[in-house]
Amino acid sequence: MMTPARRFAYSLAGLVALAAVPTLFPGYHTSLATEMLIFAVLAMSIDILAGYAGRTPLCHGAIFGVATYVVLYYVTVEQGNPWVAVGLGILAATLTAVVFALLAIRTSGVYFLLLTLALGMVVWGVCNRWTSVTGGENGLRGTVRPEWLADQADLYYFVLAATSAAALGMWRFVNSPFGLTLRGIRESEPRMRTLGYNVPLHLFIGFVVSGFFAGVAGALYAFFNSFVSPSTVALAQSVEGLLMAIVGGVGTLFGGLVGAFLIIALENVVSSWTERWSMVLGLMFVFTMIFAPEGVLGKVRAVLGRRARPIPPRNS
């Protein structure tokens, strides 16, 4: 583990670098960076389950999208206050996660994957068909963010602050004693049970917390995008979030940040060169899995760790 001083220095350096984005890259790149930060929160929330609890979910796009839908609905249709809308959006996402968790936590492995996939599809189906509320295929549109966030740079700083707070929260969560029990469940469920832990309850709480943060990301996305349609809750969204977590490195938490940056940047760079950009992305995933199955951040840590300490102490 890193010393607290070094960790603090790294985080500070990262924050300073991120804070400089609107000054160094104004315009489109700032909005791209905003999107990256939002998806980083989603990827990190997925990592809580995929990386720490050892349960790979395919429903977080849906949980994320529920928050986006609720925020947009409350502001554009009900003419409500945006901050109340954010609260309601996150609450709705958390409640969705509660329902999903109740149904899914008793399964593991590929069954967990499929069950969460099905639950996500239910949300997609509802958003697609419940035209009177969700606008169906056309979705909901309208500016939700308050006046003082209208400027791109201001929105970026706001999202950066929210992302930092969410990241800190998630980091505290996975490194808390409770987070350790999640890791214990990942390593060996029977052993944790024998030790007297209530495994389903722990997984349930882990799932709900992860859903809460996916909801935070979804609410931010409503501010950013001013638009939501069924494609936001579609399976592709869940998969993309999961891929971000995997490319960055599962079980590293901040890998989500790296993954989101890499994928969104690549999507934008490659798609301006060729219309076969999805193929390039696919190849990148394949190579990541072959050469760095632990993800980019995992690989970097492994390389750095090897250089700094030739013989890793077992009991650190």
Partner 1 sequence: MDRRTFIKNAGVAAIASTGPWYLKSGLTQSGPIRIGLLAPLTGVVASGGREIVEGFNLYWDRNGKKAGGREVQIIVEDDASNPDTALQKARRLVEQSKAHFLIGNLLANTGLAVAEYVKGNGVPYFIPVIAADDLTQRKRIPNVIRVAGYTASQMPRPLADYSFKKKGYRKIVTISQDYTFGHEQCGGFSQVFTELGGTIVAQHWHPLNTQDFSPYLAQIQGANPDAVFAMETGADATRLIQQWANFGLKGKIPLLGAQNTSDQSVIRTLGAEAEGILSSAHFAEGTDNPVTRKFVAEYERAYSKLPSLYGFSHYSGALWLAQALEAVKGNVEDRAKFLDAVRKTELTNSPLGATVKLDAYGNPVYDISIREVQKRPDGRFWNVPVASYPQVSQFWTYKPEEYLKQPPYSRTFQGIKKA
Q: What does the binding site for partner 1 look like in residue numbers (CB under 8 A)?
A: 24, 27-29, 31, 35, 128-129, 131-132, 136-139, 141-143, 225-227, 229, 231-232, 268, 271-272, 275, 277-278
Q: How far is the CB of 190 from partner 1 (least distance, A)?
A: 43
Closer residue to partner 1 (CB): 229 or 252: 229
Q: At its nearest, how many Å lie between partner 1 and the CB of residue 227? A: 5
DSSP state of 155: H
DSSP-based three-state secondary structure for 27: coil
Burial class (CB in 10 A: 0-12, 13-18, 19+), 142: middle
Closest contact distance (angstroms) between CB of 146 and partner 1 is: 14
Q: What is the distance of C-alpha 21 from the center of its chain?
A: 21
Instruction: Considering the complex, state which of residue 29 and residue 183 has its C-beta at the smaller distance from partner 1.
Output: 29
Please count the CA atoms within 13 angstroms of the CA of 141 that sit on its side-chain side.
2
Shortest distance (Å) from residue 29 CB to partner 1: 7
Least CB distance to partner 1 at residue 286 (A): 19
* Residue (127 or 242) nearer to partner 1, CB: 127
Treating both helix axes as pointing N-terminal to C-terminal, what angle do 177-187 and 199-225 enclose, rounded to 10 degrees?
A: 110
> How near is the Cβ of 273 to partner 1 at its closest, in Å?
11
| CA neighbor of 203 nearest in space, from 290, 297, 128, 107 | 107
Query: What does the alpha-carbon distance between residue 197 and residue 199 come to, in Å, rounded to a whole number?
Result: 6
Residue nearer to partner 1 on the CB measure, 108 or 226? 226
The residue among 272 and 316 lying less far from partner 1, judged by its C-beta, is 272
**Measured from the CB atom, is 79 or 316 closer to partner 1?**
79
Interatomic CA distance for residues 275 and 279, integer angstroms: 9
Would you tell me how many other CB atoms lie within 10 Å of the CB of residue 125?
12
